């Protein structure tokens, strides 16, 4: 279900990224312009500290999931295409990511994957919790930290 993203995914990733609900739950709610998105995507695809996948159902792209290694921490970002939400795909894409991680040799897996989630992002909190992410500490600035340890 997961395949590595390519530059040909730029338009769909841009649409999902600028979706109003995605922006609402992101750290920065400002829409991104396409030129900046293209630069960002080219950078991510070239960055060995990032891995970006597209989730597909019967060959149709429905979601993206990304892990960025930042100062020793693996940070999660994911989103489902607006038209495909509330069908279990957010949860499915997290489980597919977990399978990808578990296929890596133990010594190259991240020690943990951190999701920083807005406290009112109920869909994400439910998807993460049911996939084994566990909240740590109190929310700070409206975001709660949840960890999954491979
Ligand atoms: C968060 C997101 C990925 C969830 O994807 P999804 O495919 O809609 O989620 P699922 O269908 O797997 O639902 C997960 C759970 O949330 C619940 N849920 C989904 N949408 C919901 C909503 N709008 N309100 C309340 N609950 C909701 C589901 O009932 C399910 O609950 P359950 O596990 O108790 O059965 C999707 O809403 C999204 O792309 N949001 C914008 C980007 C975003 O917030 N990304 C996460 C940043 S941390």
pLDDT tens for 9-61 read 999 999 999 999 999 999 998 999 999 999 999 999 999 999 999 999 999 99
H or E stretch including 66?
strand 60-70
Query: What is the percentage of the chain residues whose pLDDT exceeds 90?
Result: 93
Report CA(80)–ligand 1 centroid distance (Å).
8
Task: Please give the Cα distance from 21 to 99 (Å, whole number).
Answer: 27
Task: Please give the Cα distance from 106 to 38 (Å, whole number).
Answer: 33
| Domains recognised in the chain with CATH numbers | 2-148 (3.40.630.30)
**Helices 89-103 and 122-130: angle between axes, nearest 10 degrees:** 40
Average pLDDT, the chain: 96
Best of 127, 139, 142 for a ligand 1 pocket test (most atoms within 8 Å of beta carbon): 127
Mean predicted confidence (pLDDT) in 89-105: 97
User: Can you tell me which residue has the tokens 């109003």?
Assistant: 20
Q: pLDDT tens digit string along 132-145? A: 999 999 999 999 99
With a cut of 90, say whether residue 108 has pLDDT above it.
Answer: no
With a cut of 90, say whether residue 94 has pLDDT above it.
Answer: yes
Report CA(5)–ligand 1 centroid distance (Å).
22
Residue 70: predicted pLDDT: 87
**Helix ranges restricted to H, the chain:** 10-18, 20-24, 34-46, 89-103, 122-130
Q: How confident is the model at residue 95 (pLDDT cuts 50, 70, 90)?
A: very high
Q: Which residue's CA lies nearest to atom 34 of ligand 1?
A: 126
Residue 10: predicted pLDDT: 98
């Amino acid at each position: 279900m997961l395949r590595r993203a390519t530059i040909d995914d730029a338009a769909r990733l841009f649409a999902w990224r600028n979706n109003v609900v995605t922006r609402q739950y992101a750290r920065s709610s400002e829409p991104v312009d396409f030129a900046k998105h293209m630069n960002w995507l080219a950078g991510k695809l070239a960055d060995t500290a990032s891995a970006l996948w597209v989730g597909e159902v019967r060959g149709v792209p429905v979601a993206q999931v990304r892990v960025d290694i930042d100062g020793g921490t693996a940070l999660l970002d994911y989103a489902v295409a607006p038209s495909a939400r509330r069908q279990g795909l957010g949860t499915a894409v997290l489980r597919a990511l977990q399978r990808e991680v578990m296929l890596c040799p133990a010594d190259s897996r991240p020690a943990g994957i951190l999701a920083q989630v807005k406290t009112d992002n109920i869909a994400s909190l439910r998807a993460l919790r049911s996939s084994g992410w566990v909240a740590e500490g109190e929310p700070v600035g409206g975001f709660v930290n949840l960890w999954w340890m491979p």
